[in-house]
Chains A and B, each alone.
Chain A
Amino acid sequence: MRNGRLWPVHLVLAVGAAAMVVPFFWEVLTSLKTFTESTRVPPTWIPSFEWSNFTRVLDSTPFVQQFGNTVVMTVVRTLAQLLFCSLAAYAFARLRFPGRNVIFVLLLSVLMVPDQLFLIPQYQIIKGLDLLNTLPGLFLPGMFSAFGTFMLRQFFMGLPDEIEEAARLDGANPLRIFWSVMLPLARPGLLAFGVLTVLWSWKDLMWPLVVNTDPEKMTLSAGLAALHGEHVTEYPVLMAGSLMATLPIIVVFVVLQRQLIQGIAFTGSK
């Protein structure tokens, strides 16, 4: 009965949702068309399932390597950020040491600076280390995050002291308490932050574009840019490529949707 009165709400939401989904529908549809079908007006609604668009992506770019590079970059960045940020976040939240607040604010000031300010010097460092066009070059600067430290510190501050106090009286050192008491408690926060990091890392474009110019060493996002340069008007191939590059992260999102939403909601509420 109640839902009967809600139809205007559904109508508005459905129109909005269509605006969100139709571009993806068009992407999938085009990726299955032949080139001539893609240039037909009015559009062909039933494509002839031209799967060769997908194989052409594999042929014209080292897609598999790029996929691997993106996975490695994402995994290393995420694990490193989880480790380094949670270690520091715990210390900033729970331990007392001289200069704690000054250091914390200094590190946090990084958040106010546009990424472009880091880019040239980071590039020089990676170049100096002879790591251009390598995997470590891709993930090295992204292993550290001021944002993650801030977010996890908030999380640790919200956890109760009692358990920690008990462990402390038992004589456990802070690192031990962190590892075996606090980390398990912080699991929801870590997971939410981890999923956010995976997403951002997967989407990153500017750094990979700058640091790895060899197609074999590129990430998928930079690879898409290269694919675009090669098949400027062959939209069926371009759509197949963009679909292949995006699908893995959409699967991750569907599986870990709750954590991702929580992570974003948490950043919003601070």
Chain B
Amino acid sequence: MERAAVEGAAARPATRTRLRDREWFWGYLMIAPLTLGLGVFYLWPVLQSVYYSFTEWTLFGDSSWVGLDNYATLLRDPEVGKALWNTFLVAAFGLLVIPVSIAVAALLNTRGLRLVSFYRTLYFLPVVTMPAAVALIWRWLYNGEYGLINYLLSLVGVTGRSWISDPSTALYAVMVVFVWTYLGYFTVIFMAGLQGIPGHLYEAAAIDGAGRFRQFFRITLPLLTPTVFFSGVLMVMYGLQMFDLLYLMFGKNSPAWADNKTIVLLFYNKAFEEGAKGYGAAIAVVLMAITLAITAVQFRLQRRWVHYA
């Protein structure tokens, strides 16, 4: 055993370059399929989309260079402004999922609590349900005449409305579902975050006489800030790119469709329903710029409030 090791060490200088060459070879070989796939289907398309955004497409798929025309149209298009505003609303409202899931995770983390995995499974059900199905279920719950929500409201003397087809409530109705679908997901993330907090901190705090709430705000929350930050970045991205729920909950014949489009819905509508791929690409580029800008701001601000232990 020992001799083999000594021999290995002695043999090393002579074969070192050969070994390293071989390591290069294997390295490139092993990343090749992924790099090729991501290159063809993801990296190159980004450049191509940017290029498309300077072109105009006919219905037959021919395209011609139009310079900044699409962007000029975009700036003047009232639909775009409206959609951007709706998108920000959705992303901002979606962040509500964070305090709620922290609360649920903290409750589930209560020492000595039973049925934890039972609760977790129930909270997790919406996460595993296909958004297309979620959208249909909630459309039905929100139904103005026969929906369960309005029935329950009528029991306490409130007259409901057609939440989804009423343009003034449609977007908020969808946002509630958005939070509902992600609650279980972030609860799991925060439970993992909570379990990473060392127990002796709480014991020390308890000895110092800090109560449950004080412990939560002085220990739990500060130590959870990296997870909060990560979840915030993720949820804003999901919010900015939300499509499935809106697409299926509104439907084109709904009176809410016109005023409640988000930027991704508008993108889909232009690029794939109206065949204006150049204009659609310009919308996508704007969405990317906004996403990057917001993420950059989030990363910049994190220094002020995120504690890395």
Whether chain B is bound by chain A comes out as yes
Q: How many residues of chain A have a CB within 8 Å of chain B? A: 104
Rounded to whole Å, the gap between the CB of B296 and the closest CB of chain A is: 10
Inter-chain contact B23/A174, CB cutoff 8 Å: yes
Chain A residues near B127 (CB, 8 Å)?
A: 199
Interface residue? A167 (CB, 8 A): no
Comparing B31-39, B70-78, B215-223, the segment that makes contact with chain A is B31-39
Known contacts A9-B113, A225-B248, A261-B120: A114-B34 contact under CB 8 Å:
no
Q: Does B54 have its Cβ within 8 Å of any Cβ on chain A?
A: no
A21, B42: Cα distance in complex, Å: 38
CB pair A175 B248 closer than 8 Å: no
Given A3-B114, A20-B125, A202-B130, do A238 and B288 touch, yes or no (CB 8 Å)? no
Nearest residue in B to A106 (C-beta to C-beta)? B43
Check if B31 sits within 8 Å of A144, measured CB to CB.
no
A83 to B112, CA, bound (A): 41
Stretch at the interface among B91-99, B167-175, B201-209, B236-244: B236-244
Segment 2-61 of B: residues with Cβ below 8 Å from A: 4, 8, 20, 22-24, 26-31, 33-35, 37-38, 40-46, 48-49, 52
Please report the total number of B residues contacting A with Cβ < 8 Å.
98
Chain B residues with Cβ under 8 A from A20's Cβ?
122-123, 125-126, 180, 183-184
Inter-subunit contact B240/A110 (CB<8 Å): no
- Asked if residues A26 and B180 are in contact (CB atoms below 8 Å), the reply is no
From residue B237, how far is it (CB to closest CB) to chain A in Å?
8
Give A180 Cβ to nearest chain B Cβ, in Å: 14
B141 to chain A, nearest CB (A): 6
CB pair B141 A26 closer than 8 Å: yes
- Known contacts A175-B26, A235-B140, A119 near B271 by CB under 8 Å: yes
Determine whether A221 belongs to the interface, using a CB cutoff of 8 Å to chain B.
yes
B256 at the interface (CB under 8 A from A): no
Q: Determine whether the beta carbon of A107 is less than 8 Å from that of B35.
A: yes
> Taking A84-B34, A205-B243 as contacts, is the C-beta distance between A23 and B138 under 8 angstroms?
yes
CB contacts (< 8 Å) of B27 on chain A: these are 91, 95-97, 100, 174
* Contact across chains for B42 and A239 when beta carbons are under 8 A apart: no
Binary contact track A227-270/B, C-beta < 8 Å → 1, others 0: 01100100100110111011001101110010011001111111
User: Is the pair A17, B192 in contact by a Cβ cutoff of 8 Å?
Assistant: no
Query: B288: which A residues are within 8 A, CB to CB?
Result: 113-114, 117
Interchain CA distance A246-B137 in the complex, whole Å = 12
> Which A-B residue pairs are the 5 nearest by beta carbons?
A144-B37, A268-B189, A97-B27, A121-B45, A265-B192
- Please report A residues at the B interface, Cβ cutoff 8 Å: 2-3, 6, 9-10, 12-13, 16-17, 19-24, 26-27, 30, 38-43, 83-85, 87-88, 90-92, 95-98, 100, 103, 106-107, 109-110, 112-125, 140-141, 143-144, 146, 149, 169, 173-175, 178, 199, 202-203, 205-206, 210, 220-222, 224-225, 228-229, 232, 235, 238-239, 241-243, 245-246, 249-250, 252-254, 257, 260-261, 264-270
